[in-house]
Amino acid sequence: MKTINLTDVGALRNELAKYRKGRKLDIRQFNQAARLAWLGKVVLSPLDPEDPETRSWLLYVERPEGVAAHVLVVDEDLYQFIHILDAEQGEHLAAILEQGVRERAAALEELNRRDFYFEKYFARQEPGSGR
């Protein structure tokens, strides 16, 4: 664990400024986090919602389950920590999370309306086939 010498006020201010700013994930990790965000497997929260100058985000990544756990490749170190993201990547992940929820909900609505019985037992007649 990192320690900060509390007698050095300047070092403390610099460390706090770094946390307020957040950091960027590299391209590979951002893509992995974005895939899991689309699946709804991330928790995002503003770092300090009461401070309008702090625009960075807290990110926690949950392990995928089922088929996604077998298909998706995700770095282990993405799971083990709560990450502090900069404003830009945090906002993009929030938008991807929202997009995934909307698309999955639309697919479930379509599935709810789909009539498998008629699809399988009453084939569509092709025009001119005489059937």
At 24 the pLDDT is: 94
Asked, for residue 129, whether it belongs to a domain, the answer is no
Share of the chain above pLDDT 90, in %: 63
SS3 assignment, position 130? coil
* Lowest model confidence (mean pLDDT) among 4-8, 23-27, 36-40, 93-97: 4-8
- Kindly provide the b/e burial profile for residues 76-100, where b requires at least 16 CB atoms within 10 angstroms of the residue's own CB: eebeeeebbbbeebbebbbebbeeb
Asked, for residue 81, whether it belongs to a domain, the answer is yes
Q: How confident is the model at residue 5 (pLDDT cuts 50, 70, 90)?
A: low
Asked, for residue 50, whether it belongs to a domain, the answer is yes
* Lowest model confidence (mean pLDDT) among 18-22, 29-33, 87-91: 18-22
Count the domains in the chain: 1
Asked, for residue 97, whether it belongs to a domain, the answer is yes
Q: What is the pTM of this model?
A: 0.78
* Lowest model confidence (mean pLDDT) among 81-85, 96-100, 117-121: 117-121
Q: Which domain holds residue 37?
A: 26-115
